[in-house]
Amino acid sequence: MKNRKWLSVMVAALFVIGLTGAVNAGTLEDIAQRGELRVACQTQGPPFSFIDKKGNRTGSSIELCELMAAEMGVKLKFLNYDWDGLIPALLSKKADVLAADMTPTLKRAMKIAFSDPFMYTGSVVFTKADSPFKTVEDCKKPGIKIAVLLGSTGETDAKKAFPQAELKSYKGGGPLLIDAVIKGHADIGVNDGSAVTGGLASFPPNSVRILPGMLSKSPLSFAVRYDSMDLLEWMNLFFLHISLDGRLDQNLNYWVNTMDWKKDH
Amino acid sequence: MTGCPAKDQDRKAKIVLETFNFRIIVEYLPLYWKCFFATLWLSGGGLAGALLVGVLSCSMRLSESRIASTAAGVYIESIRSTPLLAQLYFFYFGLPSLGIRLPEEATGILALTLNSGAYMAEIIRAGIQSISHGQIEAAISSGLNYVQRMRYIILPQALGVSIPPMLGQAIVLVKDSALLSLISIVELTRAGQILTSERFMPAEGFLTTAVFYLIIYYILKTFSNWSQKRLIFRGA
């Protein structure tokens, strides 16, 4: 009789402990238990996330995520979206982390939590190599057609810098804008400097010219939901570690600061 | 939860109002109106073109000339076997490489016209071939030539039979116009995309888009009902 009573008390206690565990489980726990880190990345966003000529998904953000997963001891699952689909994917819990060259704007930060920046860039204006536009001032004409990416800071910067222009927002990634400018659908394009330089690698050399000067300065960060503050703390610590031991510089020098990646990908 | 129905309705209304942020939709209504008219005019242009192309290619297909018949056949089969999105991308991204560059709206209407035109041609052909051969024999024995036969006997009856499936294709065309958002045209689906990328509210954005498409659907459906009563020639 006494044994029976003890048994039921033990079972009840274990149940309560199990429940508390479940209630307090944060995203890090979920990831560890699942054994998989789900990452939302861009379908076409060289040099951060793209498909190389061998058909493999690669890029600066992809490799940083591989380092993260190795440190966490979990597998990786990449989910690809167009630029404007990344934040909805994160918010709808399809992904744990958003890994892209996204600027932590205050508007975006109302919905998602950004990590500390891992690099800095800025919006630039680019045009066809033989076009008459030589400076940003030349582009401030009424009716000029500007290719921008739907939902990007380039779109907001272009609206501010060229109020009289006709904006064409493309849904997809950076290379679409370069293609639109080369084909003549738009006179100029506005996007992050790092994305434009990376994207140009797949186009014939000297087909596009980047105008001098930046329209804005943008930090770039990864992001998580506001319910994953434990993951955010871990990610910030991760970036601290890889910037101290040189792996971040190695990654950025290979992918962003030079065109070294073009040899292998 | 056996409450009075009125209280239940209040509770449900409250849940809907709290889940969806209607204030945002009101703020974006001017954009939606603009996009609604853009969709109407793009679909309207596409439909008008499709009817023209449909009638033309159908007559070519049914004519006795081998060349016209084969040419129309190639056009119809290649359109019907490929996805509209692939055709749209070909016209927008592919044609400029061949030296032809059209503005977005023209490309969009061209793609919609050529795509729906092929399906319209098949619908009209089915309508024509459903006319009993007795009619054609009577027309020939009355001394009418091919063009007169088509104009006075065949086409009026065929169009009457074809109107319901043609209106079905018109509804498909309106929904196909959503793909035009992918070549940076600002229409109803793009309005939902804009609300998603500016305010991160895809539910409110695309629900409102759906409501506007429903309005267009009901306009077309009303027209379909009216035309079936007025235009169908019911044989003796």
Mean pLDDT of B189-215: 93
Looking at the domain assignment, is residue A11 inside a domain? no
Phi/psi at A45 (5° precision): -145, 60
> Confidence class of residue A76 from pLDDT cuts 50, 70 and 90?
very high
In a domain, residue A237? The reply is yes
Q: How far is A133 from chain B (nearest CA, A)?
A: 21
Does B198 contact A151 at a Cβ distance shorter than 8 Å?
yes
CB A181 within 8 A of CB A154: no
B206 within some domain: yes
Q: Do A212 and A227 reside in the same domain of the chain?
A: no
The pLDDT confidence band at residue A1, using thresholds 50, 70 and 90, is: low
Please tell me the distance from the alpha carbon of residue B110 to that of residue B42, in angstroms, as a whole number: 10
Instruction: Write the residue in B96, B104, B197 that is nearest to A184 by C-beta.
Output: B96
Q: What is the pLDDT of residues A214-229, one digit of tens each?
A: 999 999 999 999 999 9
User: What is the tens place of the pLDDT at every residue in B73-88?
Assistant: 999 999 999 999 999 9
Find the radius of gyration of the CA atoms of chain B. Answer: 23
Instruction: Answer for the pair A166, A158: CB distance below 8 angstroms, yes or no.
Output: no
| Other residues' Cβ atoms within 10 Å of the Cβ of residue B168 | 14
Q: Is residue B8 part of a domain?
A: no
Range of the domain at B102: 28-231
Task: Return d(Cα A62, Cα A44) in angstroms, integer.
Answer: 12
Residue B194 in contact with partner chain A when CB distance is under 8 A: yes
Q: What is the mean pLDDT of residues B139-143?
A: 89
pTM of the full structure: 0.83
- How close does chain A come to B82, measured CA to CA in Å? 22
| Cα(A37)–Cα(A47) distance, integer angstroms | 22
A100: domain CATH number is 3.40.190.10
Single residue among A202, A217, A232 that ends a domain in this structure: A217
Number of domains chain A is built from: 2
Provide the pLDDT confidence category of residue B236 given band limits of 50, 70 and 90: very low
Question: Do A115 and A224 sit in the same domain of this protein?
Answer: yes
Q: Is A41 within 8 Å of A66 (Cβ atoms)?
A: no
Q: Identity (one letter) of the amino acid at A63?
A: E
Q: How far is B108 from chain A (nearest CA, A)?
A: 14
Task: Say yes or no for a CB contact (<8 Å) between B184 and A171.
Answer: yes
Report CA B26 to chain centroid distance, whole Å.
28
Q: Does B193 touch chain A (CB under 8 A)?
A: yes
**pLDDT per residue over A117-145, tens digit each?**
999 999 999 999 999 999 999 999 899 99
Mean of the pLDDT values across residues A175-184?
93
Q: Pick the residue with more confidence: B18 or A90?
A: A90
Size of interface A-B (CB pairs under 8 A): 40
Q: Determine the residue of chain A that is closest to B195 in CA distance.
A: A151
Domain that holds residue A257: 26-119+219-264
Specify if A34 maps to a domain. Answer: yes
Judge whether B72 lies within some domain: yes
Q: Does any CB of chain A come closer than 8 Å to the CB of residue B200? A: yes
Residue A12 domain-assigned (yes or no): no
Going from the C-alpha of B150 to that of each of B145, B154, B160, B231, B236, the distances in angstroms are 9, 5, 14, 17, 19
Residue in chain B lying closest to A180 (CA):
B93
Same structural domain, A46 and A105 = yes
Which residues of A lie inside 8 Å of B (Cβ-Cβ)? Answer: 84, 87-88, 91, 108, 111, 147, 150-151, 168-172, 179-180, 183-185
User: In CATH, what number is assigned to the domain containing residue B196?
Assistant: 1.10.3720.10
Q: Are A128 and A170 in contact (CB under 8 A)?
A: no
**A19 falls within a domain:** no
Question: Given an 8 Å threshold on Cβ–Cβ distance, is A91 in contact with B197?
Answer: no
Judge whether A158 lies within some domain.
Answer: yes
For residue B235, the model assigns a pLDDT of 47
Q: Which residues of A touch B96 (CB under 8 A)?
A: 183-185
Q: What is the DSSP letter of B98?
A: G
Number of domains in chain B: 1
Tell me whether residues A184 and B97 touch, CB distance under 8 A. no
Among candidate residues A144, A143, A119, A147, the one with its CA nearest the CA of residue A133: A144
> Do A247 and A197 have their domain in common?
no
B6 located within any domain: no
Res A81: pLDDT: 94
Q: What is the ipTM of this complex?
A: 0.81
